[in-house]
Amino acid sequence: MIRLQAYLAHAGVASRRESERIILAGRVSVNGIIASELGVKVDEGDAVCVDDREVHPEAHLHYIALNKPPLYLCSASDPLNRPLAGELLPRVAERLYNIGRLDFRSSGLIFFTNDGAFASKLSHPSSEIEKEYLVEATNIVPDGILNAFREGIRIEGVLYRCREIERLGAKTLRIVLIEGKNREIRTVFSSFRLHPKILRRIRIGNILLGDLAEGKTRPLSPEELKCLRAP
């Protein structure tokens, strides 16, 4: 028997964390009974439905790296009809979703999968997977922003701290994050009245963006997956 949220993750419904939200929203049933609490376990042969649609563990798992161009949204849909990063992926029968996000104006490396357990592991802060960015600001970057981001800066009650930060030029920096809070780099820059002109993610863990062209994808190799799954 496995926990219901793990079953949903293996079925490609969503990451384990998002599956927990779906359960708590009362959208999941097991053998016809709504399971609106965490801790429910399912066994082989149980009928699990999400929004009245039966789901099963995925037979084929996909792990895809995308070089997301700017002005593409990391979302399943958009009411403003903006381009979606998922539209750049190869067509497969299974539903793929992004692991983490890159905001609308940012570009670079992002992973897509239908393996919810894999997505949960990579997304959780305890995994401490590094994410490296190249940033070019609209104006000269003062030394103060490097010191503040390195030592930790609190903005509206939230602490932002990078693992590494290095000056590459008057306007350009290399930044390594671990947790990767929502719009973290842009928030820190804004506190210094700076704005990134270019914000590109070039590495996740041991996986480099390399020469993958904007808008193009490639599958992650077994060796890369092994490294990402390692403690």
**Mean pLDDT, the chain, integer:** 93
Q: Does the structure show a pLDDT above 90 at 52?
A: yes
The domain over range 63-126+207-229 is classified in CATH as 3.10.330.10: no
| pLDDT given for residue 190 in this prediction | 96
> Catalytic one among 43, 46, 103, 211?
103
**For strand 28-30 and strand 48-50, is the pairing parallel, antiparallel, or unpaired?**
antiparallel
| pLDDT given for residue 76 in this prediction | 86
Domain boundaries, the chain: 2-54, 63-126+207-229, 130-204
In this prediction, residue 125 has a pLDDT band, given cuts at 50, 70 and 90, of confident
Taking only the tens place, the pLDDT of each residue in 163-201 is 999 999 999 999 999 977 889 999 999 999 999 999 999
Q: Is the pTM of the predicted complex or chain greater than 0.85? A: no
Taking only the tens place, the pLDDT of each residue in 63-95 is 999 999 999 999 988 999 999 999 999 999 888
- Is 78 considered catalytic here? no
Question: Is the CB of residue 98 less than 8 Å from the CB of residue 84?
Answer: no
Residue 173: how many CB atoms within 10 A of its CB?
A: 22
Helix, strand, coil abundance in the chain, percent, nearest 5: 25, 30, 45
In this prediction, residue 158 has a pLDDT band, given cuts at 50, 70 and 90, of very high
Amino acid at 73: L
Report d(CA 69, CA 83) in Å as an integer.
10
Tell me the fold of 130-204.
Alpha-Beta Plaits (3.30.70)
